[in-house]
Chain A
């Protein structure tokens, strides 16, 4: 039996980019008026073509998709005949509601993977329905693509899909990120962490014999990271620990036996949570009280941000007070493999520069095991 892939295209994704809008969420008509052209259908077709021509492989897949330009058209164009239509949008101009409804159908069909073409908004819509039940893979074609579900480009996405079907890549946590609309309406463009979904990642291998390797699950590695942080806490009893946001930190905190806020910053002292989901003000108050503080952070998504994406509470003021040498960065090797640089975007150019001038940072990738990663400014 083949893999069951739910395929969905957000036909309007990416249209805002060329005309200077931050996405097409809620502003489609304006985008069209400004002369925006559809991007996603072309990207989706390109990726499918790449997949079929390089890997054949199409016959190993049972395709589930939506009527017309939400998926069916693209599959037909590249010659896939056996398609099951699970959803039909009611109007010509599709909305996020259509994406969500289609995902409900995918859930019912028990698909192995949802392959979508869109941006952060689309990823968020899918995540809001499927949560961590089905892994998600994104063909990048939106304006904002900060989430960890996307392949780097069309070609890489085709390869990931192929490897997923044939070689059993592992499923791991990836962050769903999107614009913070509340701040955006106040004129600030900030990216927020919305949740942790399941994505496809390269497994980590350890050598078990001269020429044989065994893959290690992400959880085993995160357990090692937990032990490492627990050691740090035990060796620094007089130290306040701030636990960052995201799936890796959440796992570590829970393993240590702490309550933890997945999308927020918590404070820990003596292995006990003393503050939950703190804002900047509360963190600053704590910093006045405790002399020594360390922050545990994990890079968000492949872009490698440890500050400024999803954790604005950790403001420049907070970081300056703690000192950048007291940042402990943790990441699983598979995540780090997709993260060439560690970046910060603190909103304070001087602090960002100090960080970039460090040139590198030691990232904890296992129990007492570190790897060097280059730092870069947020300009890219």
Chain B
């Protein structure tokens, strides 16, 4: 039989469209700014990860331009061969200092960090213990290993301890992996307890702090600082693409970890290194975090105000402890409708529906931004209140 070699492309795409599971890409005509133009409409941006609005910070822009002028548009190679520039090394040094760790390593993306290092940390005869709500990139990293896997109920330390007790006798290495800030609910992993349990059983700890870096802890130093356990998490993984306002993944920890990681991570070894512009902007981002604490403060002021007002209107905003604020509305169709109508009224926030969250817990997920003014927030809040009443949510 002569087969149709590419027929599945159209067929599977069509299936996604029919089930309404395809991505309908929204196009930004501006930068990722607090007031952005999306698909031709000016909106208040409540769904970017650009928490501190650093992507628009003059120093970052300047850093990118200067690095480009000086070193060119591309890096020419992978890091391991001829693509490690002084600038890349400088970023890693400054990052380690900021995170108060011995050393740091920058990956091409956050995904590349998780998919690159996790499979090297555990193999046959080892076990990886994972929170049930961990991010997809962790899950993919875990899938690449030959280690056994066990899942514990979200933030359930009792289950984690029981698994550790069971695993203690059976496995060589034990690795506990968790998100720091969970991106759907905005809650935080009890990292202090995880570190304590891990110490008891001789387990390694790994946190994906993508939504915590630049947001929680002293001046945005992340989850270690947040819990007062700096230096005690074996692998602090994060990203430059969220609060830092650029792009790139990172890990921070001991010099041993970094030596091991860059020799073994296939994603790191086999992708081209960041262009000078990226490294220049990363360097500037760290400098801004170190010298301009007002951005983190503004982010939290905005967050507190926004949460307080939503709550007083009668919205259910879940258990978030971070600038991720879910507005829980119930049925999936209602969340989709609220999101569409908010967009029409000039507020951009995405619905999160089943199966990402329980069937009756569909929501609008909002992410705060330090670049939004009080007037902006009042504008968005007014729309939430108006539509919330119209849709019988409040």
Q: Do A and B bind each other?
A: yes
Residue contact B163 to A372, C-beta cutoff 8 Å: yes
Residue contact B136 to A207, C-beta cutoff 8 Å: yes
Chain A CB within 10 A, most for which of B146, B153, B159, B352? B159
Q: A368-B148, A371-B150 are in contact. Are A359 and B23 (CB under 8 A)?
A: no
Q: CB-nearest residue of chain A relative to B146?
A: A368
Residue contact B151 to A211, C-beta cutoff 8 Å: no
> A210 contacts the other chain (Cβ, under 8 Å)?
yes
Question: Which residues of chain B in 341-355 are interfacial with respect to chain A, using CB atoms and an 8 Å cutoff?
Answer: 350, 352, 355
CB distance from A339 to the nearest CB of B (A): 14
Interface size bucket, B side?
20 to 34
Q: Given the complex, which residues of A lie within 8 Å of B152, measured CB to CB?
A: 372
CB distance from B190 to the nearest CB of A (A): 17
CB distance from B368 to the nearest CB of A (A): 18
Q: A360-B162, A372-B159 are in contact. Are A211 and B149 (CB under 8 A)?
A: no
> A370 contacts the other chain (Cβ, under 8 Å)?
yes
Q: Given the complex, which residues of A lie within 8 Å of B139, measured CB to CB?
A: 207
Q: How far is the CA of A114 from the CA of B56 in the complex (A)?
A: 60
CB distance from A293 to the nearest CB of B (A): 18
Secondary structure type dominating chain B contacts:
mixed
Residue contact B162 to A359, C-beta cutoff 8 Å: yes
Q: How far is the CA of A66 from the CA of B72 in the complex (A)?
A: 80
In the complex, 14 of the A-B residue pairs with CB atoms within 8 angstroms, ordered by the A residue number, are A209-B136, A211-B350, A212-B21, A360-B159, A360-B162, A362-B166, A369-B148, A370-B149, A370-B150, A371-B150, A372-B150, A372-B153, A372-B162, A372-B163
> A213 contacts the other chain (Cβ, under 8 Å)?
yes
Q: How far is the CA of A370 from the CA of B163 in the complex (A)?
A: 10
Residue contact B23 to A212, C-beta cutoff 8 Å: yes
Q: Given the complex, which residues of B lie within 8 Å of A365, measured CB to CB?
A: 151
> A205 contacts the other chain (Cβ, under 8 Å)?
yes
Q: Give the top 4 A-B pairs by smallest Cβ distance, nearest first.
A: A207-B136, A205-B355, A370-B150, A369-B149
Q: Given the complex, which residues of A lie within 8 Å of B153, measured CB to CB?
A: 372
Q: CB-nearest residue of chain A relative to B21?
A: A212
Question: Which residues of chain A in 275-299 are interfacial with respect to chain B, using CB atoms and an 8 Å cutoff?
Answer: none
> B147 contacts the other chain (Cβ, under 8 Å)?
yes
Q: How far is the CA of A365 from the CA of B148 in the complex (A)?
A: 12
Q: Given the complex, which residues of A lie within 8 Å of B149, measured CB to CB?
A: 368-370
> A214 contacts the other chain (Cβ, under 8 Å)?
yes
Chain A positions near chain B (C-beta within 8 angstroms): 163, 203, 205, 207-215, 359-360, 362, 365, 368-372
Q: Given the complex, which residues of B lie within 8 Å of A208, measured CB to CB?
A: 136
Residue contact B352 to A370, C-beta cutoff 8 Å: no
Question: Which residues of chain B in 106-141 are interfacial with respect to chain A, using CB atoms and an 8 Å cutoff?
Answer: 136, 139
Question: Which residues of chain B in 16-30 are interfacial with respect to chain A, using CB atoms and an 8 Å cutoff?
Answer: 21, 23
> B356 contacts the other chain (Cβ, under 8 Å)?
yes
Q: Given the complex, which residues of B lie within 8 Å of A370, measured CB to CB?
A: 148-151
Q: How far is the CA of A208 from the CA of B256 in the complex (A)?
A: 33
Q: Given the complex, which residues of A lie within 8 Å of B23, measured CB to CB?
A: 209, 212
CB distance from A25 to the nearest CB of B (A): 37
Mask of B141-172 contacts with A, CB within 8 angstroms, 1/0: 00000111111110000010011001000000
CB distance from A167 to the nearest CB of B (A): 8
Q: CB-nearest residue of chain B relative to A368?
A: B148
Q: A368-B148, A370-B148 are in contact. Are A211 and B21 (CB under 8 A)?
A: no
Q: How far is the CA of A365 from the CA of B146 in the complex (A)?
A: 16
Q: Given the complex, which residues of A lie within 8 Å of B150, measured CB to CB?
A: 362, 369-372
Q: CB-nearest residue of chain A relative to B365?
A: A211
Q: How far is the CA of A15 from the CA of B152 in the complex (A)?
A: 42
Q: How far is the CA of A199 from the CA of B394 in the complex (A)?
A: 38
CB distance from B106 to the nearest CB of A (A): 22
Q: How far is the CA of A334 from the CA of B139 in the complex (A)?
A: 19
Q: Using A207-B136, A368-B149, A372-B162 as known contacts, list a sample of 8 further A-B pairs with CB atoms less than 8 Å apart, ordered by residue number in A.
A: A210-B136, A211-B350, A212-B356, A359-B162, A362-B163, A370-B151, A372-B151, A372-B153
CB distance from A370 to the nearest CB of B (A): 5
Mask of B167-206 contacts with A, CB within 8 angstroms, 1/0: 0000000000000000000000000000000000000000
Residue contact A369 to B151, C-beta cutoff 8 Å: yes
CB distance from B88 to the nearest CB of A (A): 27
Q: How far is the CA of A81 from the CA of B163 in the complex (A)?
A: 55
Q: How far is the CA of A288 from the CA of B344 in the complex (A)?
A: 75
Q: Given the complex, which residues of B lie within 8 Å of A372, measured CB to CB?
A: 150-153, 159, 162-163, 166
CB distance from A207 to the nearest CB of B (A): 4
Q: How far is the CA of A210 from the CA of B148 in the complex (A)?
A: 24
Q: How far is the CA of A362 from the CA of B165 in the complex (A)?
A: 11
Q: How far is the CA of A163 from the CA of B162 in the complex (A)?
A: 35
Q: Given the complex, which residues of A lie within 8 Å of B163, measured CB to CB?
A: 362, 372
Q: How far is the CA of A213 from the CA of B139 in the complex (A)?
A: 13
Q: CB-nearest residue of chain B relative to A371?
A: B151
Q: Which of B146, B147, B355, B359 contacts A213 (CB 8 A)?
A: B355
Q: Given the complex, which residues of A lie within 8 Å of B355, measured CB to CB?
A: 203, 205, 213, 215
Chain B CB within 10 A, most for which of A203, A208, A211? A211
CB distance from A187 to the nearest CB of B (A): 40
Residue contact B352 to A211, C-beta cutoff 8 Å: yes
CB distance from B167 to the nearest CB of A (A): 9
Q: Given the complex, which residues of A lie within 8 Å of B151, measured CB to CB?
A: 365, 369-372
CB distance from B360 to the nearest CB of A (A): 10
